[in-house]
Structure 1
């Protein structure tokens, strides 16, 4: 797989510089709140019309971690094994989908979605 760094509006210098605060699911979207230590802020990452969500403990994530660049904590690709397992190439709406990866201190979060948005979240105690 060929993952690139995903351009987000804050710096995540290492794969363990992010803490998962919460995940909310409402049936059609996923909202993930993350705390980033360098900015000392919470960030909201929203995926509308998502296809799949996977959360793995950091200790058990060697499979995906080996495919990621060394720098950063946020990654994206349009071509992954998971995307093709879900039907990319056969299911037309998956043509626009991406495989997003967020490396947190204790978890690795993966989302397949066509749309994402990253913004500052309200301050929440971590």
Structure 2
């Protein structure tokens, strides 16, 4: 039997389009900024096809969410206002990046610093 992970019960985009709140049936709730979701996109454009191909994406501090589309019964596609539309965020992926937010965000900020990049748009 497959590992039954908690199912999302609500996805809510804030009025300013800068935050996605994901609530799961077990009560876990994550507020994920559009910037965080964009730079952590599960797309091949960002993640590559292997860990050594993963890209650090700068300049997304002001990115917004244009829309969220359900993909089957397992994920959503988040369409960003920088025209990035290829990331399909599974429920498990949203939960994982929500639960591990502090570590992943810290790693991202360190990568920006190491590479001389900025969160600001160039």
Q: Please say whether Structure 1 and Structure 2 have the same fold, judged by a TM-score greater than 0.5.
A: no
Q: Which has the higher contact order (CA 8 A, sep 6+)?
A: 1
TM-score of the superposed pair, with normalisation by structure 2? 0.32
Q: Which structure has more strand as a fraction of its residues? A: 1
